[in-house]
Structures are given as structure tokens and as C-alpha cells.
Amino acid sequence: MKFLVVFESFFGNTEQIARAISTALGEFGEVQVVRVEEIKPGDWQSADLLVVGSPTRGFNISPATKAFLKTLPAGSLHGKKAAAFDTRLSAAGMKKIPGFVRFLIGIFGYAAEKIGKALQGGGAVLVAGAEGFWVEDTEGPLTEGELDRAAAWAKKLV
């Protein structure tokens, strides 16, 4: 099988998760892991599984990831398997932000769900629910155990 893991990362946390996912997928086939700003048109076409990840920024997908998803031609993912993930504040991290912001997160959600919807909109079939991985603060670090959890999640995608 061929896997493509596409990610954007600002502080290295999402990249760490993407690399843990790619290492786990490597047990099942050939993996290419690419920063979203380095992906070329059509790179995803030969992949059996496309995995896209982004940090949650302002209750949304990061700008470059959103731009990448918008460039996918209509129907270009028809029947392709896909999965979506993000990094987001842990419960401990949430305690550090104002209650109003926590309220807004409850309304607007996280990046992974929006990535999943965009992939489905392009015709992809999601092989797992959108997954969020925890960071302790805006710049990290990842919550202990998240890299192992990312690897376990990746194995469920195959």
C-alpha cells in the first residue's frame, strides 16, 4: 500500500504526530510524509490512503492546510481512503484560557473534523473518525503518550 501523510506544523507538535503516524504506517507499505506547503499537485493521486493533519488555529484548519484542501479538484478524491487529525489543547491547557474561548471552542470545534469534511467533499471515504492529539499549551509540548496514541490510531487506518 502507498500512504501519504500531509501536515502543517507551527511549533513542531503536529509534525511529531505526523511522523509517528508515518512510522506506524510504514509497517504496512510505502509512506511519504510531506509538509503541506511542499506538496505538489497530484501527489495524492497515487496514494491508497491520504492522511491530512493540522494544528487547530482560531477554531479552524491552519491557513496553508485550508488552501491545500481548496486546491483539490472536485471529485479528485473520489473513492480514495482518507483520514484527518489535528493537535489541540489538552484539558490542562484549556484551564489556562478564558472561559469565553472555551465556550467558542465548544461551538466552532477543532480542525480535524473540518479537514475530514473537506476530504469527504472531495469524494474521499474517511476510514476513521477525525482524531485530535493533545498539547499542553499553545506551543506544546505534546501530552505524554500522544505519540504512542498516534501510532496506534494510524494502525487502525489500514
What is the pLDDT at residue 104?
A: 47
What is the pLDDT at residue 103?
A: 47
For the stretch 68-80, pLDDT in tens is 999 888 888 998 9
The residues spanned by each domain of the chain are: 2-157
What is the rounded distance in angstroms from the CA atom of residue 127 to the CA atom of residue 25?
14
What is the pLDDT at residue 55?
A: 97
CA angle 60, 46, 82 (to 5 degrees): 35
For domain 2-157, give its CATH number from 3.40.710.10, 3.40.640.10, 3.40.50.360, 3.30.450.20: 3.40.50.360
| Cα distance between the two ends of the chain | 9
What is the pLDDT at residue 23?
A: 98
For the stretch 8-65, pLDDT in tens is 999 999 999 999 999 999 999 999 999 999 998 788 889 999 999 999 987 789 999 9
